[in-house]
Each structure stands twice: as structure tokens, then as C-alpha cells.
Structure 1
């Protein structure tokens, strides 16, 4: 597997898929949420939406919201659209949605809005020490 760096922006799943020649589902988007104020990462297919009601149940929290751009950057060191599930400034819990397992290889942002890292869902779960969930 080889890290990919593009001249064009890949900050959305559709743009990344177009640059890589894959479907948007193969793009592993990493979202930053605040669950009762505590940050966490959710990695899912680029063509899926997180069901926040399911996510609230999984975490047993009362309040869940997307982190704003400034919070994303301060927690991860990555800009929105380039958030990598690996290598955040602060150690953050990672939750990998089972939807990624329909693909042998997915492409995660690698810290910029024009980079991608090909990885298998199993390897992603392993190196992030993540937890497998079903929230899409």
C-alpha cells in the first residue's frame, strides 16, 4: 500500500473518490464528535451518514454534537476534510463503523485535504485500538 498525495483537494468523500478512482463508500471519513463534552472520532464510509440517535445509544450520553472546525484542529492537529484517524495531537478514542467492512481497502485522510492512506478496515481498527460499532 502506498500513501497518496494529490494536486487537487480531496477534502470531501466525493472529491477523494474521484481522485482515487474509487466509490465514495471506500473513503473512510473521520468525524469528530463531542459526547457530553468528551471528544471522540468516528470513522465511517464516505457515502454514509452517522445516525446520531444510534451514536447516543452506543455511548450512553445525553448530549452529542459535531465538533466545530477550531475544536477539530485543536484536538487532532488536522483541518476538517483532512482528519486522519491516526496520529491526533491528543489521544482520542476511535470508533470504526462496520460499514467499512464491505471493502477490502478503504482510503483514510492522511492529515491534509489532499492526501489519502489506503488501509484495510481490520488494520485500521487494530492500529487505532478502535472499537467496532454500527451507527450508520
Structure 2
């Protein structure tokens, strides 16, 4: 199970007690914000795309949308999200629990600058009822991010 892989990853990092699990769904930004009692924008949603025949993840603030012209300028292709069926196979987590931790080899992770306005954010942990609170710097570290991108709109 995907959450078990994420828990094992965080245990190896000395953060085994940091993964939060809920009795309710956190599969969407709104549900996660309700489960955590935080504003939706502090949910670090993880979106999956195909770029040059390889899957990538963009982690962005919960109140954003992908800005297609910015995405195309950065990645030189149209933003094409993975289908529900492709996500688990290519990324290693199912829809509703996609996160940038314990993912399949070869999946590049990028963080959107929309996250930088927060001290801490809440990404999922591999299931539709989990999260972890991380500083933005820790998110960058534990996600092994390739860097910061500016591909979202609606937040500034």
C-alpha cells in the first residue's frame, strides 16, 4: 500500500511520527483542509503530468490552477495531466493520495512558487486520508525536488 511506502520513507528520515492519518477523506484540497482545520491554500496538492514521455509532479498551493502558457514556456509542451489509470502505475500512488514522497524512480518533482508564501504546508502521504506538515524547505528536501517553477495562477 502506498501510505506504507511513505511511512517507511519518513521513518528512514527520523520522522515516523509525523505522518497524520484521518478518519475522514483528505482526497481533495477542500476535504484535506477540513480534516486538518487549515485554509485550503496551505494544502500542497500534487499534480501529475507527462513531459517528454516522462511523468513529472508539480506540487502547488491548494488555491492555484495550472497556467497553461506558463507551463508551456517552462516545459516546452502543453500541460497534459496523467489519466487516473496512469497515475498509480507511473507515479506509484493513487489519485487522492498522490504525493512527492516514495514515488517511482525517474519521476521528477517540481515545486511551484505559490507555496513559498507559507511557513508550513500539508502534502498528502500516499493515501486519501493522510498528510504531513512540513516547512517549505523540508518539503523541497524530502521531495528531492528538481527546483522551483512558476506555472500556476489564481493565487497572487
TM-score (norm 2): 0.82
User: Which of 51, 55, 67 matches 2:67?
Assistant: 51
5+ long unaligned stretches in structure 1: none
Show the counterpart of 1:67: 82
Q: Equivalent of 1:119, from 131, 134, 141?
A: 134
In the alignment, does 2:71 pair up with 1:27? no
Residue by residue over 1:41-71, the C-alpha shift from the partner in whole angstroms, topping out at 9 and shown as x without a partner, is: 000011110112211111123x430000111
Deviation at 1:2, TM superposition (A): 2.4
Contact 1:75 1:90 in 2 (8 A): no
**Deviation (angstroms), 1:38:** 1.9
CA offset at residue 15 of structure 1?
A: 0.5
Count, aligned residues: 135
The residue aligned with 1:93 is 108
Change (3 A) 1:93 1:65: same
Secondary structure of 1:89's counterpart equals coil
2:52 and 2:106 mapped to 1: Cα distance? 17
> By how many angstroms is 1:90 displaced?
2.7
Q: In structure 2, what is the Cα distance between the partners aligned to 1:105 and 1:113? A: 20
| TM-score of the two chains, using structure 1 as the length reference | 0.93
Verify: 1:39 aligned to 2:55, yes or no: yes
Q: Does the C-alpha gap of structure 1 residues 50 and 128 become closer, same or farther in structure 2, counting only changes over 3 Å?
A: same
Q: Distance in 2 between matches of 1:89 and 1:132?
A: 20
Residue 121 of structure 1 deviates from its aligned partner by 1.2
Deviation at 1:129, TM superposition (A): 2.7
In structure 2, the residue corresponding to 1:101 is in which secondary structure? Answer: helix
Say whether the 8 Å CA contact 1:51–1:135 is kept in structure 2: yes
Aligned residue among 2, 10, 30 for 1:14: 30
